[in-house]
Amino acid sequence: MTNYILVFLAVFSPTLALAAPLGARGTDVWDMVWSAGLVVQGVLLILVIFSVVSWGLILAKLKSLRDAKNQNQEFEALFWNAGSLSAAQGQTRHLTASPLANLFGVAYGELGKVMRLRQGEPGLPSGVMPNLKRALDRAQAAESTRLGKAVTFLATTANTAPFIGLFGTVWGIMDAFRSIGATGAANLATVAPGIAEALVATATGLFAAIPAVVFYNHFNRKLVVLESEMDSFSQDFLNLVERDLMRRRGPAVEAVRPAELQGAEE
């Protein structure tokens, strides 16, 4: 319910704020919208749709990125203190919103396939590293696509909404001057209402574009941070497996504690 209220305020608050008498005729913004031409009304409808969709996307993306950040922190705490990779898999399986947990799930599955091909030999097969790297790269690309899904719509709104509004304004001004020519009256009282009706389209376009560009930049910064975290985890996981590969006569990967990687780097 709160989301619907926020969307309503986002779309209609400028209209409510501007709904004041504009002249002797007592014309307010609502009257100007209803008395505008069909083209201008169509432009306003398109811009309102852009604004509503943008705000719905903004609210949804704020929640998804916040969940990804919180679950990443929970995953790191569980993973680096797990007794083994299988234990880490069991403890982090529920973190479905965490990009790091999803990367680890894919890598662990690929590692399990390779382990089944050992045929009783100690350690890991020599070709495991390229397989793991390809699996991690694919998983990271999939997570990046999932996290950035629909964010480009905000860029589209930010780039196009002002021009759509400008088109409505130009068309409205053309209608206003045609009306002036038809009536033969060319004073301020005749011109002002038509010009004001046309300018509502520009104001609506800016109202749709400004939040879109602000949150687009905000989400891009968040996505860059998540990308960096995925890169770091992929490298750390590959280092963990490669060290086990280098000591073939040592314990199998299932017996290697993830915490050993942190200790070695410190």
- Res 196: pLDDT: 76
Whether the pLDDT of residue 184 is over 80: the answer is no
Q: How many CA atoms lie within 13 A of 199 on its CB side?
A: 11
Using alpha carbons only, give the angle 178, 180, 182 rounded to the nearest 5 degrees.
Answer: 70
- CA 70 from chain centre, in angstroms, equals 16
- Res 8: pLDDT: 39
Whether the pLDDT of residue 16 is over 50: the answer is no
- Res 224: pLDDT: 94
Q: Between 225 and 1, where is the model more confident?
A: 225
- As given in the structure block, the two tokens for residue 142 are 């999939």
Q: In whole angstroms, what is the distance from residue 119 CA to residue 124 CA? A: 10
Q: Name the residue with tokens 């319910």.
A: 1
Task: Output the average pLDDT for the chain.
Answer: 78
- Res 187: pLDDT: 62
Q: Name the residue with tokens 């690929």.
A: 110
Least confident of 32-41, 178-187, 235-244: 178-187
Least confident of 80-84, 123-127, 218-222: 123-127
Mean pLDDT of 95-115: 88
Please, are residues 205 and 164 in contact by the beta-carbon 8 Å criterion? yes
Residues 6+ apart with CB under 8 A from 208: 47, 48, 50, 51, 54, 157, 161, 165
Mean pLDDT of 23-33: 56
- Res 167: pLDDT: 87
Q: Given pLDDT bands bounded at 50, 70 and 90, which one contains residue 154?
A: very high
| Predicted structure pTM score | 0.73
- Res 57: pLDDT: 95
Domain residue spans in the chain? 2-265
Residues 6+ apart with CB under 8 A from 93: 101, 105
Least confident of 6-10, 60-64, 229-233, 252-256: 6-10
Q: Between 68 and 19, where is the model more confident?
A: 68
Mean pLDDT of 178-207: 74
- Res 122: pLDDT: 59
Q: Between 194 and 108, where is the model more confident?
A: 108
Q: Given pLDDT bands bounded at 50, 70 and 90, which one contains residue 178?
A: confident
Please, are residues 94 and 67 in contact by the beta-carbon 8 Å criterion? no
Element (H, E) at 85: helix 85-92
